[in-house]
Amino acid sequence: MSDDEAAAEDRARHPSAFRAARTEFAHPSERVFATLLDLYGLRWRYEPFEFPLSWDESGRPTRAFRPDFYLPDHRLLVELTVADQRLVTRKNAKVRRMRELYPELEVAVVYQRDLAGILERHGLEGLLDPAA
């Protein structure tokens, strides 16, 4: 491999070249998670689907759930939650309702402690700001 080819390969692996660096996220933790997915070479889509959870009398959705990530190669929806417990409880209720209505879909919830553990294993624990 030539020096030019090696330099090009290094640039391609640099975090600034990852898709996560070019995507707008609602929360900084989502960018961190997407960067990890990029590092592992996992294909992902950010909030691609919205699932109605309840409807009014005329059939219009009144409540919906939009998981944060879809990993198409694994047919897996991922909901990332680093919020305080009060909000996590509400989010867990939405995930339960989604599983009731759409049992054919696989949904994983990644909690703050899960993401913190992943980052710690990679020596990146400073990336997750609990105040963010």
For all residues of the chain together, what is the average pLDDT? Answer: 84
Q: Domains of the chain: which residue ranges? A: 19-127
As a whole number of angstroms, the distance between CA 28 and CA 97 comes to 26
Per-residue pLDDT band for 6 (boundaries 50, 70, 90) equals very low
pTM score: 0.78
Reported as type and span, the H/E element at residue 46 is: strand 45-46
CA dihedral angle for residue 12, residue 17, residue 19, residue 24, rounded to 10 degrees: 180
- Which CATH class for the 19-127 domain? alpha beta
Alpha helices in 40-128 (DSSP H): 85-101, 112-121
Higher confidence at residue 124 or residue 114?
114
Contacts of residue 87, Cβ cutoff 8 Å, sequence gap at least 6 = 81
Q: Name the percent of the chain lying above pLDDT 70.
A: 80
Give Rg (Cα) of the chain.
Answer: 18
Contacts of residue 80, Cβ cutoff 8 Å, sequence gap at least 6 = 27, 29, 30, 33, 68, 69, 110, 115
